[in-house]
Amino acid sequence: MRNDAWGEGNLRPRLMTISGLLAQCLNSLQYGLLLFLISSGLTLIFGVLGVINLAHGSLYMIGAYATFVVVRATGSLWIALPVAMLGGILLGGLLERYLFRHFYKREHLDQVLLTFALILLFEESRSLLVGNDFYSVPIPTALDFSIPIVEGFSYAAYRFVVIGVCLVLAAALFVWIERTKMGAIIRAAAEKPEMVDALGIDPRRVHMTVFAVGTALALTAGALNAPLSSVYPNMGDGLLIISFVVVVIGGLGSISGAFWSALLIGTIDTMGKAYAPKLSGLAIYLLMAIVLLWRPTGLFGQRT
């Protein structure tokens, strides 16, 4: 039904202007940082626990809906953000303690079934509790203004706040992993689990901490992005897939790998959507294939 001229117009790269490019760089940064929040949790959980958590996108969705519900009730995003963060730690701790703990020793297929079941459970609960509507979350009034960036394009102040919060969280995560004792144990657990056992460290505490932090990161990402994306059913699905790509390109279990890879994917995806929309979907996967051929363990993964 769609006539050919349409498809062609979409394939042809669009006109680039310097000011447009500048604005797109900012979009890339903001999107990349959001991807980092989601994929850092994914990569931590996979690196340390060896579990592929397909429900990670649903956790993001839960963060966004929780924010919507809290903002509707209290009118304040500043209450919703800590609620999502702490709620994420609690939810992650419970999930690890009562579900995931029993699955570490089992096959990947069992783990996939478990996390897939969680997706269905989370989405169905969301449907029962909040319904299937598309809701918008208002930006706090104090931040509801825009800052001109280039001729004819301004940037909402709240987007700068999101960029700032993401950078702070990324720095905190980096310090925690690289500079603290717990971080050292986590890195050891990801790279040489036998050593952690040999040193007599209780792995259960490590596992629960990692899962709780990973979950909290996903919920926080959802909460931060809720005013920018609105909330709607299955909103985490697309982001889950792209986060897996980030994790694979960055190297499984590597936080700094996830950071640089998230920025790279954020840039490629944004530029693709802006200048060559029909190719943008393909570009990311093409990049992943090339990276996998060149460095099978990812850009920052351990070489074997």
Partner 1 sequence: MSIQLNRLNRRALIKVGAAAAAASAVPTGWAIAQSSKQLKVGLMLPYSGTFAQLGENITAGVELLLAEKGGKLGGREVQFIKLDDESKPELGPQNAERLVKRDNVDVLIGTVHSGVQMGIHKVVKESGTLTLVPNAGNAAVTRELCAKNVFRTSFTNWQPAYAMGLALAKKGVKKASWLTWDYAAGTESGEGFKQGLEAGGAQFVSLLTLKFPETNFQPLLAQIQGLGVDAIGAFFSGGGAVQFVKDYAAAGIKVPLCGSGFLTEGTLKGQGAAAEGIETALHYGDGLNTPKNNAFRAAFKAKTNRDADVFAVQGYDAAQLLAIGLEAVKGNLEDEKALHAAMETTKIDSPRGSITMSPQHNVVQDIYLRKVTNGENKVVSTIAAQLADPGTGCKM
Report, in Å, the least distance between residue 58 CB and partner 1.
Answer: 17
Q: Which two tokens stand for residue 230?
A: 């609105």
Find the shortest distance in angstroms from Cβ 278 to partner 1.
9
d(CA 207, CA 101) in angstroms, rounded, equals 8
Window 178 to 237, contacts with partner 1 (CB under 8 A):
228-230, 232
Are the C-beta atoms of 257 and 43 separated by less than 8 Å?
Answer: yes
Residue 259 lies near partner 1 (rule: CB under 8 A): no
- Closest distance of CB 297 from partner 1, Å: 30
From the list 6, 236, 25, the residue with the least C-alpha distance to 126 is 236
Distance CA 269, CA 272 (A): 5
**Smallest distance from partner 1 to CB 66, Å:** 18
116-134: b (≥16 Cβ within 10 Å) or e: eebbeebbeebeeebeeee
Q: How big is the site for partner 1, counted in residues (CB under 8 A)? A: 44
Please report where in the chains the tokens 């005013």 appear, as a residue: 227
Q: Does 132 participate in binding partner 1 (rule CB under 8 A)?
A: yes
Q: Binding string to partner 1 for residues 133 to 152, with x set by CB under 8 A, is what?
A: xxxx---------x-x-xxx
CB atoms within 10 A of CB 277: 14
| Alpha-carbon span 140 to 53, nearest angstrom | 33
Candidate list 9, 13, 82, 296; residue touching partner 1; CB under 8 A? 9
Residues that bind partner 1 (CB under 8 A): 1-3, 6, 9-10, 14-17, 19-20, 23-24, 27, 30-31, 131-136, 146, 148, 150-156, 228-230, 232, 238, 270-271, 273-275, 277, 281
